[in-house]
Amino acid sequence: MAVFNDEEQQRIRSAIESAEKNTSGQIRVCIEKTCSEGVLDRAAKYFHQLDMHKTRLRNGVLIYVATVDRKFAIIGDAGINKVVPDNFWDDTKEQMLNQFKYGNLVEGIVTGLTIAGDKLKQYFPHQNDGSNEISDDVAFMDGE
């Protein structure tokens, strides 16, 4: 499913790499055209399918976007949810939505990644031994 061209995919990947330089948090972007269930349920399904829950500090974050249905969610693993306030992702989602409203899908995702990296470094600062536990590639799903 080619929602993004190679240059756009590289831009997203670079934003993930940049965000992860300041945090031990592991961030991934998951894209599909349609969301056949509640957006949070769908994001949680892919969170597990992509092994986001297998990070050492349980600090994985998934940004899920259903492009045709115009739905998106940001979910974090147990390690994150244990230490951040309930509204932790609200500003990130709002800033992304501001871009999405104008059809700027890639810019919205990059904005979300940048803010997520900045926010996560407060709770999960970068560690010298921090390896990249999760692929930085965009995960394209076809709605199983």
Tell me: the pLDDT tens digits for 31-63? 999 998 999 999 999 999 999 999 888 999 999
Q: What angle do CA 83, 108, 114 make, to 5 degrees?
A: 45
Percent of the chain at pLDDT exceeding 90: 70
Question: DSSP characters for 78-99?
Answer: HHHHTTS-TTTTHHHHHHHHHH
- Backbone Cα Rg of the chain: 14
Domains of the chain (ranges plus CATH)? 6-140 (3.10.310.50)
Residue 143 has pLDDT above 80, yes or no: no
Percent of the chain at pLDDT exceeding 70: 95
Residue 130 has pLDDT above 80, yes or no: no
Edge-to-edge strand order for the sheet containing 139-140? 71-76, 60-66, 26-32, 139-140
Least confident among 50-54, 114-118, 130-134: 130-134
Banded pLDDT at 2 (limits 50, 70, 90): low
